Structure 1
Amino acid sequence: MSNSFVKNTIMTLSRQISGILLGLLASIIIARSLGPEGNGLYQLIVLLPTTLMTLLNLGVGTSSVYYVGQKKYDIKDIIKTNTASGAVLSLVAVIIGLIGVMFFSDKFFEGVPPNYLYFILLIMPLLMLNDFYLVIFQGVQDFKSFNSLALLRQLAALISLVLFIFVLQIGLVGTVIAFIVGVVTQFILTLILLNKNLKTNLLSGSFSKAYFKESFSFGFKAHFSNVLSFINYRADIYLISMFLNPAAVGLYGVAVSIAERLWIVSQSISSVLYPAISSSSDVDSKNKLTSVISRNVLFFSIIAGIVFYFASDLIFRLLFGEAYADSSDILKMLLPGIILFSVDRILSNDLAGRGKPELNMYTSIFTVASNIILNILLIPKVGIAGAAISTSVTYSLSTLVKMFLFKRETGVSYSKMLLLQKEDLILFKRLINKAVKRS
């Protein structure tokens, strides 16, 4: 494991921890100030542009990381082409969003005033372009800029949230505007860093037809998988809104936001792993790197999961108040799938980095279908607990399938993927000894 990989991972992990703290503080402010129903409305509002971006980005971001790592095209040409693609795709997203709000808001966004949904659509172009530009820094492995931009977006949103909620006291409107402020801030800072660090801007370079074709050809495989994964993540929110009410969305959303904090390590490592695998030609090194990461991520996720399980009642009552006490049980139901899925994230990025994103796509088709069916069967019968059970089961199934595919592709045994090895224990011992000596 190279020093640069470790350094980038630690840097990304530090940003993730900082981001979690900022995100948690924002979640607490929104949850306490708006209550379960208002919190549910906010989650449904911001879910609209997030869903549209995920459905319509066509894998351009994933392709950008891959082709920047391959050094096949000039970065300036990639940025120029991404700008054109982002402008067109965001326009399509806005049109589809408008149609969706006009005809389906009562079904999927029950209780949400349509004006909020129309307003949030204005941010689609910047949201799309942010994604297309941010991955350029990931592709060149400039993780200082990559992490700073993501963190500053959260910080700007949090500061705005405090202003709108506590000073101006404009409630739900303030939370939506704070979300938009975060997106706009990230866009402006991204343009500055593109010019400063990569010596380029949106006017530099040329539109590359060759890259455009290859990016969509490669990206569509990853895109379809990402769309299915997103549906797997968020179908439960839409179905809870359809079968229940915004208050149920608020209770469930808070539980999910806390449970997904367990992915901090796997998210940090997978962000660094993808470009590292994409740019490496040493198969043995790639196999060893991913297997070491996979089993260690699982080990620490299990430990964190145990802590979350026993501390969940205290977490929700202390941070969110008695109104969210029921979210604790939902968190406990989510934990088995959340823990296992930390391995899925690592294996998915490895397979994509090897140029085989279609394997993730095939898995996602199966798991999404299972998730939707289970949600439709269980939510009407047992409420939000049904959504939690469905999510946990399908996350677990997805991980098991990815493990099988990774073993088939690499020959790495399941034990090396999942169980700590002697070399890991030796490394832990060295780290502990160093820490003791420094103290």
Structure 2
Amino acid sequence: MKSTILKTFVSRFLILILNFGLVIYSTNMWGSEGKGVISIVIADLTIISFFANIFVGSSMSYFASKFKTEEILPFAYLWSVLIGVLIPVIFSFNHASEYSNYLIGLSVLSSLLAANVNLFVGQQNIKMFNLYTVLQQIVHIVFIIIIIYIIKITSVNSYFIAQISCFGVLFLMSTFQVLKHTNFKKISFSKKIGSKLFDYGWKTQLSAFLQFLNNRLSFYFLEYFKGIVSVGVFSVGIAFSEAIWTVSRSLSVVLYADVVNNKNSNEAIEKTKVSIRISFLITLLFIFTMLLIPAQVYSMIFGKDFSQTKEIVLFLSPGILAIATSNIIGYYFAGINKLRILNVKAIIGLIFTIISSFFIIPKWGIRGACVITSISYCLSSGLLFWRFYQITEFHIHDFLLSKTEINLLLNKVLKKK
């Protein structure tokens, strides 16, 4: 498992670097307003993905080892197209229609790709999962270069055209790998299996959707009270948060794949604790590194509109650390099909976010959004920690790597070199 964690971490670290490169480019190319447009469209895409993920998300991973691919993949593909078209059309009645067509293309193709990638996770094919998560960044950047510098489309539309092209190419590649091991004669739509996929999927996605609202609701409050430019500025700080979370998400994916295929509960708990301490320490290191960088450097990198970036990261850092560690516990509970606690923790954070945003964001703007987001993260994470340590003993060393584990990690890194 530790070897797989290391490989996954390396791939996610590469994604982090590429993602930052993309953020830096987009802020300098299109400014705070353009970055705000990208943030809102991607936020809409994420909302749609929660509906799509009822069939293409965790349910694909969870049931991959329990049912045949031919029995679950057809549900995922059909649902991806249905939701990918229907929800953006509904959104178009309340949003400007300028980006509706892009949103449909992004929704359908990203969901189809997610079905294949999450199938790899359920099959414990973490190598393919890592490959496609890295390629999503690399291929997107390649298409941006082609569209802007060769085709000469320089508006913010080029970002979305490139992303649609990226998802399309990767879906075709991954589908070829999935279908070459598939017996087309055994493809079927079983009502019983579909019901199980839906039942597990909507429960996991309800929690994820509520957590997303905790993460993104401030975007919509900021847009309403302070305008799209403030969303662009705030989104860079959130991008830092999500970049740092690549560590915990890497560990979480590996842990989840292991837990759903592991019948030894004590072993699963110990592996969860190992993941917690790795995530805690690496996240802490990243936060300290980012806070040591002078504010002027952020302005120089992202542009003069983003002089508040260091302050945003500072206010968000307690919540960033809380989520980075509690993500691990959340995936443990999902892996053992204990989903109620995930919904409860997300609801608590969401209620706080909604109530406080009406009072704080109109007065404090971006700074208020940071404080609200950080407290919300800490509240929801605190509940997960409390529940996890009800079923196991708490020790301070759960957050500290042992000498043996440090040596093991160092040895693996040196071998890689």
- The answer to whether the superposition gives a TM-score over 0.5 is yes
- Per the alignment, residue 420 of structure 1 pairs with 400
Once the two structures are superposed, the pairs formed by residues 93-112 of structure 1 within 5 Å of their partners are 93=87, 97-102=88-93, 104-105=94-95
Give the alignment partner of residue 392 of structure 2, picking from 384, 388, 411: 411
CA distance in 2, matches of 1:67, 1:51: 23
Specify whether residues 428 and 150 from structure 1 end up closer, same or farther in structure 2 by C-alpha distance, changes over 3 A only: closer
CA distance in 2, matches of 1:435, 1:261: 21
Give the alignment partner of residue 168 of structure 2, picking from 184, 188, 194: 184
Give the alignment partner of residue 39 of structure 1, picking from 10, 28, 35: 35
Find the residue that maps to 2:66 and give its secondary structure: coil
Specify whether residues 125 and 284 from structure 1 end up closer, same or farther in structure 2 by C-alpha distance, changes over 3 A only: same
Give the alignment partner of residue 310 of structure 2, picking from 328, 335, 343: 328
- Per the alignment, residue 156 of structure 1 pairs with 139
Find the residue that maps to 2:362 and give its secondary structure: helix
The alpha-carbon deviation at position 355 of structure 1 amounts to: 1.1
Find the residue that maps to 2:138 and give its secondary structure: helix
The answer to whether structure 1 residue 360 and structure 2 residue 348 are counterparts is no
Match for 1:32: what amino acid?
N
The answer to whether structure 1 residue 115 and structure 2 residue 98 are counterparts is yes
Specify whether residues 327 and 117 from structure 1 end up closer, same or farther in structure 2 by C-alpha distance, changes over 3 A only: farther
CA distance in 2, matches of 1:378, 1:350: 34
- Per the alignment, residue 371 of structure 2 pairs with 389
C-alpha root-mean-square deviation of aligned residues, in Å?
Answer: 2.3
CA distance in 2, matches of 1:266, 1:37: 31
CA distance in 2, matches of 1:343, 1:272: 15
The alpha-carbon deviation at position 388 of structure 1 amounts to: 0.7
CA distance in 2, matches of 1:342, 1:248: 25
- Per the alignment, residue 17 of structure 1 pairs with 13
CA distance in 2, matches of 1:343, 1:244: 32
Match for 1:84: what amino acid?
L
The alpha-carbon deviation at position 378 of structure 1 amounts to: 1.2
CA distance in 2, matches of 1:315, 1:353: 41
Match for 1:173: what amino acid?
N
Match for 2:92: what amino acid?
V
Match for 1:86: what amino acid?
S
CA distance in 2, matches of 1:61, 1:430: 32
CA distances 1:300-329 after superposition (whole Å, capped 9, x unpaired):
211221111111525513421222112221
TM-score (norm 1): 0.88
Say whether the 8 Å CA contact 1:81–1:207 is kept in structure 2.
Answer: yes
Once the two structures are superposed, the pairs formed by residues 275-290 of structure 1 within 5 Å of their partners are 275-290=257-272
Q: Which moved more, 1:84-93 or 1:323-332?
A: 84-93
CA distance in 2, matches of 1:291, 1:92: 41
CA distances 1:24-57 after superposition (whole Å, capped 9, x unpaired):
1111111101011111112212322222222453
Say whether the 8 Å CA contact 2:326–2:381 is kept in structure 1.
Answer: yes
The alpha-carbon deviation at position 266 of structure 1 amounts to: 0.6
CA distance in 2, matches of 1:202, 1:172: 41
Uncovered stretches (5+) of structure 2, i.e. residues with no partner? none
- Per the alignment, residue 110 of structure 1 pairs with none
Give the alignment partner of residue 129 of structure 1, picking from 78, 96, 112: 112
Specify whether residues 14 and 47 from structure 1 end up closer, same or farther in structure 2 by C-alpha distance, changes over 3 A only: same
Uncovered stretches (5+) of structure 1, i.e. residues with no partner? 106-112
- Per the alignment, residue 141 of structure 1 pairs with 124
Specify whether residues 45 and 438 from structure 1 end up closer, same or farther in structure 2 by C-alpha distance, changes over 3 A only: closer
The alpha-carbon deviation at position 235 of structure 1 amounts to: 0.9
- Per the alignment, residue 155 of structure 2 pairs with 171
Specify whether residues 388 and 180 from structure 1 end up closer, same or farther in structure 2 by C-alpha distance, changes over 3 A only: same
Specify whether residues 206 and 163 from structure 1 end up closer, same or farther in structure 2 by C-alpha distance, changes over 3 A only: same
Specify whether residues 201 and 339 from structure 1 end up closer, same or farther in structure 2 by C-alpha distance, changes over 3 A only: farther
Q: Percent identity?
A: 23
- Per the alignment, residue 333 of structure 2 pairs with 351
CA distance in 1, matches of 2:184, 2:209: 27
Once the two structures are superposed, the pairs formed by residues 195-210 of structure 1 within 5 Å of their partners are 195-196=179-180, 199-200=181-182, 205-210=187-192
Say whether the 8 Å CA contact 1:266–1:297 is kept in structure 2.
Answer: yes
Say whether the 8 Å CA contact 1:43–1:250 is kept in structure 2.
Answer: yes
Once the two structures are superposed, the pairs formed by residues 185-334 of structure 1 within 5 Å of their partners are 185-196=169-180, 199-200=181-182, 205-311=187-293, 313-334=295-316
Structure 1 segments, 4+ long, off by >4 Å, are 201-204, 429-439
